[in-house]
Amino acid sequence: MKQDKQDCSDVSRDNCDRHDETLTTRRGEPASSLETLVANTRGKLTDAHHHIYDSRYPLDPAAQLRPADATVADYRALQQRLGIGRHVVVQPSTYGTDNRCLLDALRQFGTNARGIASVSDTVTDRELYILHDAGVRGLRFNLEYLVGLTVAMIAPLSERIEPLGWHIQLNATAAQILEHHALLASVSSRLVIDHMGQIPQPAGLLDPAFRVVKELTARGRTWVKLSGPYLVSQTGGPDYADAGKVARSFALHAPDRMLWGTDWPHPTQSADKKPDAARLLEDLASWISDDTTTYRILVDNPADLYGF
């Protein structure tokens, strides 16, 4: 569907060019399912996974992903466009364990934002409490792009953060989930798995990692983010039908353990392949096909996990 640009006077021209998805509107549709969905959340729609990139902060020398700026101002434009009321800023591997960009973003966003940080096992208790006071509610381990962290740090850090009510957030391929299944089943804290566990296609529901993730959610302390369908889809967008089948099955199995996120600004995707975040939200509604469950995913579940 053709998209028309909004006025870009409120952001720089460079940002307008880079983040076109935040500055466009979908036209030609009646009061859309998306509009109805947003209205029903009454300002509580939650994006449980996005990043902030700001060139004022140094990149980790070992960083593999080095996206262009995607600032607080840019994300606010996306919030307004989609009707996002609450959101979770996730520390990207780009900054390693330097959380200054994350903390600055949380300060600017205020009380309707939460954060997921990255720290090594040398972190002090005082530093953890400072992060908590700033709005951090979990620690991320990105096994695809480990920067300054090791898998061996997961278990001891999960024990240290459990009294804070935090969780371990894991970004991993399906193969890595299988490799570390025993560890993930034994972590002391709650666990969140990014991007549906990146269950590969076309295997989908038949992939052994799908069964492992379902088993983890059945224990009641693991959440799954229904995000990043473009990371594994073979059928492609805009509906990502194959990844949608995985999302639907997870949601039927454990509806109270599902979350949704934009993964904005989609740092693994080239400029010509970045999805429309509004369409990703519509995809969720079409995959789930149940208003009660969709509301739970967008409002109730993140409120429970992140303490909104």
Known catalytic residues are 263
Contact 288, 253 (CB under 8 A): no
Token duo for residue 222: 């693991």
| Sequence letter at residue 196 | M
| Sequence letter at residue 116 | I
What residues have CB less than 8 Å from 202, skipping those under 6 apart?
Answer: 234, 242
In 3-state terms the chain splits into helix, strand, coil percentages (rounded to 5) of 50, 15, 35
Contact 62, 77 (CB under 8 A): no
Tokens 């969140």, residue located: 192
Nearest to 155 by CA among 122, 189, 126: 189
Token duo for residue 284: 């969720």
Q: Buried b vs exposed e over 125-141: b needs ≥16 C-beta within 10 Å?
A: eeebeebbebbbbbbbb
